[in-house]
Amino acid sequence: MGLADRLRKGLEKSREALNQIFYMGGEVDEQFWEDLEDTLVMGDIGPEVAMKVVDDLRELSARQALRTADQMREALAKRLAEAFPAADRDPFDDTPSCVIFVGINGAGKTTTVGKLAGAAREGGTSVLIGGADTFRAAAIEQLKVWGDRSGVEVVTRERGADPASVCYDVIESAEKQGSELVLLDTAGRLHTSPELMRELAKVVSVTRKRAQMPVTVVLVVDATTGQNGLNQAKEFNEALDLDGLIVTKLDGTSKGGIAVSIASRLELPIYRIGVGESMEDLQRFDALDFCRALVGESL
């Protein structure tokens, strides 16, 4: 299965709702616009973005005499794609680079780190993984499994060690070894806990001060959390000044529009999206390809 097919399959649940209004022969009338706005909102794109998108498409429809719903597919995909901020750089390609992964428990941080490490190693990049989640023994074990599988070294400490100290040691090891890409997995944090967020801010601060390479802070968001994912992102961004996002588990929800909502509201680029379980299902994010898959347009 090619990447385009994996993307389309992964967004199948989110696409089903939109497909109900893009049936062949449907007319672009007032009911169509109302249905489109409601569908976008229910898909967790958010009311503000949904209203702006529909207003812009109304104008486009009038200017270009677009009369059928099916004619609006590509226009909708292109307009939604405009809502995504573009990344200045890809921290996984533009090396040397250090990436700190943050997010709540269960978002998929550890698995994401493992997949990215494996892909980078296959591409010829020298990678070092840092296991800064010292509270959950399973996280370290999981990282070591990924490390063994992909031939990537995992640096960590005993359970309960200070996460910031672990990150310091990892950066030191990376410099000695000449590692091009450093991936730091942190413990899941409740965005509602100020104490835990302050500790995470310390991890980011220590890493930025110690590292001589660019440091990127990436929030891993579970798409199935819907609008709660937006609330999480706001809190993490306020505490850590995030650089970008990775959105996981898009194949498990009908609300893939949350990716649009978070990225546009916080003006943060999306670096990767997860549309399945395999390594190939963690894909580079392309806004137009994503939006075309979301609305059912050909990639």
Going by the annotation, the residues of the binding site are 103-110, 185-189, 248-251
Phi–psi pair at 132, nearest 5 degrees: -90, 5
CA distance 78 to 186: 36
Please give the structure tokens belonging to residue 205.
């601060």
* Cα dihedral across residues 144, 146, 149, 155: positive or negative: negative
Inter-CA distances, 120 with 151, 214, 247, 279, Å: 11, 17, 19, 11
275 and 283 Cβ atoms separated by less than 8 Å: yes
Q: Are residues 270 and 220 in contact, defined by beta-carbon separation less than 8 angstroms?
A: no
Whether the Cβ atoms of residue 48 and residue 289 lie closer than 8 Å to each other: no
- Please state, in angstroms and rounded to a whole number, the distance separating the CA atoms of residues 259 and 269: 10
Q: DSSP letters of 28-78?
A: -SHHHHHHHHHHHHHTTS-HHHHHHHHHHHHHHHHHHT--BGGGHHHHHHH
- Binding site feature residues for GTP: 103-110, 185-189, 248-251
DSSP category for residue 145: H
Q: Which element (helix H / strand E) includes 215?
A: strand 215-222
Exposed / middle / buried, residue 162 (Cβ in 10 Å: 0-12, 13-18, 19+): middle
Residue type, 121: R
d(CA 292, CA 210): 42
Give kind and range of the element (H or E) at residue 129: strand 127-132
Q: DSSP letter at 224? A: G
